[in-house]
Amino acid sequence: MVTIVDVAHEAGVSISTVSYVMSGKRTISPETRRRVERAINVLGFSPHAGARSLASRSTNVIGLQIPLRSGVDVHVVMEVVSGIVARARTHGYDILLLTSDDPRGMERAARGSMVDALLVMDIESDDPRIGVLTQLEQPSALIGLPEGRRNIPCIDFDFEQAGWLAVDRLLAMGHRRLALIGSPPEVMARHTSYADRLARGFLAGCAASGVVGTVHACPGDAEAAAVVDEVLATVPEVTGFLVHNEAALPHIFSHLVEIGVHSPAAPAIVALCPEDVALAVPGPVDSIAVPAEAIGIAAADVICDMIDGGTPPGVRLIAPTLTIRTASAVRAK
Amino acid sequence: MVTIVDVAHEAGVSISTVSYVMSGKRTISPETRRRVERAINVLGFSPHAGARSLASRSTNVIGLQIPLRSGVDVHVVMEVVSGIVARARTHGYDILLLTSDDPRGMERAARGSMVDALLVMDIESDDPRIGVLTQLEQPSALIGLPEGRRNIPCIDFDFEQAGWLAVDRLLAMGHRRLALIGSPPEVMARHTSYADRLARGFLAGCAASGVVGTVHACPGDAEAAAVVDEVLATVPEVTGFLVHNEAALPHIFSHLVEIGVHSPAAPAIVALCPEDVALAVPGPVDSIAVPAEAIGIAAADVICDMIDGGTPPGVRLIAPTLTIRTASAVRAK
DNA sequence: CCGCATCGTCGAAGCGCTTCACCAGCATAA
DNA sequence: TTATGCTGGTGAAGCGCTTCGACGATGCGG
């Protein structure tokens, strides 16, 4: 293994000079800098991460907690993660993966100085992990938005606003009875933050306009069809749909085709999903994009800034945008 | 921060004794052990990972390289990862996530002693990362099976055998013209190892029995329907399907329903996908399960064993199993 | 009763890096 | 001239842990 001593020797300087060249924490003459950099390249030196973290008390690693629970949309999770990883790297950080549901995993990583900070995904409205986080020395941030006091920064998409926005669109198209085809039942039951907030925004939007809206949990697999059928059967007057679970999209879409686009009972759909999913549906749908990668990027930026001593930003919500792909004609009353 | 010195002081022993209690590398009297363990708990001590890795020259971290390319089945990837993470933890290892497509990311992690070993996913038939791996000090293993010389252990599902197995089943049911509805075109184009091997097994199986089989790339999204339609239109005599891409499953299934199960032209389907996906299809299908989590578990076991100095196992392929869910009646000739 | 393993514990030497305190050399100000 | 302040460089003291060699205490056979 080649160490900083070898580099210093090769360059004919002291090891502290080599260290200062790498960190840039002191001015170094151009001539010396060149010699050191050459030596580093010639020897293929890369500093020992452990030694570095011991001496500098920082690891350049961020812990990422993702409880891999059932019902989560892996597609979205993956995109968020990929945003985090990529952006963290540009800040010089690597990601340590923590997937155990047990918060002690995070504690272990933090207390053992394995990470400089923690990022926590899949937040529930009353998440037990938050208590653990506040006890830790390292800064942390949540990807999601729990209820109650928030002494930890939160980054997320504004699902509540998305609910309002979808209702606005459906109302503008003349629909008076709305339904939210939401997350799988287990996600709802856990009070996963985004599911709660979407439902809240949706219901508040409905209430504000004096229309009736109902929320329906919907599994992610083939059973989605059954849920759609049931909603259509038991609430026949429903014509406005906010569809969060993409598994339901094809079925409600085929119902639309079946009934005829110009029928007065023809449903209108607003899909809430990543942009590529909305485009992959067998026909145009209005959609509100879930900017999964952007969430990851924002989260990485926030946490890196906090590590650098920046002030925690409180809550950072990415605003929803509605993309209209269907004819905007208001339906006949 | 509480260090080993504090623990030693609290327990009234030397720091080396504390260290030996934790590592178990020397015999310790029960009485002393109890005192030390009590001190550790009282103070809430957890050893500094950096210091540990500096002194012991091992990190208890495994690097996991996952290039997040388009067309990969995130569902499967996630399950593999979750298997790896869970199993690695039971061996005492954490996972460092490396997603950059650039192999230098792995090199950085390895050369900087950030990881004890590397696990590499999404292997292509002629993968450029393999060259980098062989240069490194740390052991590594591949999840996948590249072509050519294999001086690095490989763990994977036996996709080639799965191809044979599916052909056997379809032939046994009396079908004489087979098609593989495979991975998305970009996955095929990259010569992703599993796609290549599945096609090879499938074609070899067909050839061995003197029947004609064709391989069709199939996108993962809504365009899957178009591919299915095209195959049915241009190769009308096809009745036996091996479907790898689950996106195509519903469409070919609805074709089956349309044409009538008892029609002589009724297609037979063998699905190759995780068990839960096969169960979520709107009807029974014969399927070969892709044991994603088991792959992750096997990979974690292999790499942990290698770190402990075990001999690398060469190639470890998990055998496919066919689950029959449809009537086994041989169709009329 | 002595010599010799064995057991349990300790002291101290690193592991490879960062960073503080210090210093020599030089330019500038008094 | 001497005092003053930069600039660019060095030496050495840790950071918190593991591990090697040493050492007193005990048990045993001769």
Size of interface A-B (CB pairs under 8 A): 123
B22 beta carbon < 7 A from strand C? Answer: no
Instruction: State the smallest CA–CA distance between residue B95 and chain A in angstroms.
Output: 5
In this predicted structure, the answer to whether residue B204 has a pLDDT above a threshold of 80 is yes
Give me the sign of the Cα torsion angle A19, A21, A26, A29.
positive
Model confidence, pTM: 0.94
pLDDT over 90 (residue A329) = no
Residue in A49, A100, A282 closest to B222 by CB: A282
Signed CA dihedral, B182, B183, B184, B187: sign only = negative
> pLDDT at residue B164 above 60?
yes
Contacts of A25 (CB under 8 A, 6+ apart): none
| Distance from CA(B123) to C1'(D17), angstroms, rounded | 38
* HEC readout, A235-247: CCCCCEEEECCHH
Q: What letter does residue A124 receive in the DSSP assignment?
A: B
At B214-251, the pLDDT tens digits run: 999 999 887 888 899 999 999 989 999 999 998 888 88
CB contacts of B50 in chain A (<8 Å) are 49-54, 59, 113
Give the three-class secondary structure for B73.
coil
User: What is the pLDDT at residue B281?
Assistant: 80
What pLDDT was estimated at residue A328?
58
CA distance to A59, B80, B200, B272, per residue, from B195 (Å): 39, 17, 9, 12
Angle at alpha carbon of residue A79, lines to B243 and A68, rounded to 5°:
80
* Eight-class DSSP state of B126: T
The mean pLDDT value for B156-181 works out to 96
B82/A99 CB distance under 8 A: yes
User: CA–C1' distance A55–D13 (Å)?
Assistant: 12
Chain A residue with the nearest C-alpha to that of B87: A100
Between the CA of residue B296 and those of B78, B93, B106, what are the distances in Å? 10, 14, 19
Contacts of A109 in chain B (CB under 8 A): 94
- D18 C1' closest Cα residue: B55
Residue of A104, A106, A83, A86 lying closest to A96 (CA atoms):
A106
Look over chain A and give the mean of its residue pLDDT values, rounded to a whole number: 93
Over residues A32-38, the mean pLDDT reads 97
What is the per-residue pLDDT across A249-260, written as a single tens digit (0 to 9) for each? 888 888 888 888
CB contact under 8 A, A46 and B100: no
| Residue closest to B274 by CA, chosen among B296, B299, B241 | B296
CA A291 vs. chain centroid, Å, equals 8
- Secondary structure of residue B221 in the 3-state scheme: coil
**Is a pLDDT exceeding 50 seen at residue A333?**
no
Arithmetic mean of pLDDT, B302-321? 96
Distance CA A316, CA A295 (A): 10
Structure tokens belonging to residue B93: 């290892």
Closest CA to B273 of B252, B284, B294, B288: B288
pLDDT digits (tens, 9 = 90+) for A162-220: 999 999 999 999 999 999 999 999 999 999 999 999 999 999 999 999 999 999 999 98
How would you class A1 by CB atoms within 10 Å of its CB: exposed for 0-12, middle for 13-18, buried for 19 or more?
A: exposed
Task: Say which of A46, A99, A282 has its CB closest to residue B225.
Answer: A282
The pLDDT-based confidence of A330 (bands split at 50, 70, 90) is low
Q: What angle do CA B76, B78, B82 make, to 5 degrees?
A: 120
Alpha helix ranges (H) inside chain A = 4-11, 15-23, 30-43, 49-56, 74-90, 104-111, 129-135, 159-172, 185-189, 193-209, 224-234, 249-259, 275-280, 292-307
Report whether pLDDT(B71) > 50: yes
Q: Which residues of B touch A50 (CB under 8 A)?
A: 49-54, 59, 113
Interface test with B, best of A1, A22, A40, A46 (most B CBs within 10 A): A46
Positive or negative: CA dihedral B259, B262, B265, B269: positive
Which positions of chain D lie under 7 Å from any protein Cβ? 7-12, 14-21
Backbone angles phi, psi at A316, to 5 degrees: -120, 105
* Interface probe with A: pick from B4, B111, B218, most Cβ of A within 10 Å: B111
Note the pLDDT tens digit of each residue in B35-58.
999 999 999 999 999 999 999 999
Position with higher pLDDT, B100 vs A333: B100
pLDDT tens per residue across span A58-105:
999 999 999 888 899 999 999 999 999 999 999 999 999 999 989 999
Q: Which amino acid would we find at residue A236? A: P
> Would strands A177-181 and A212-216 be described as parallel, antiparallel, or unpaired?
parallel
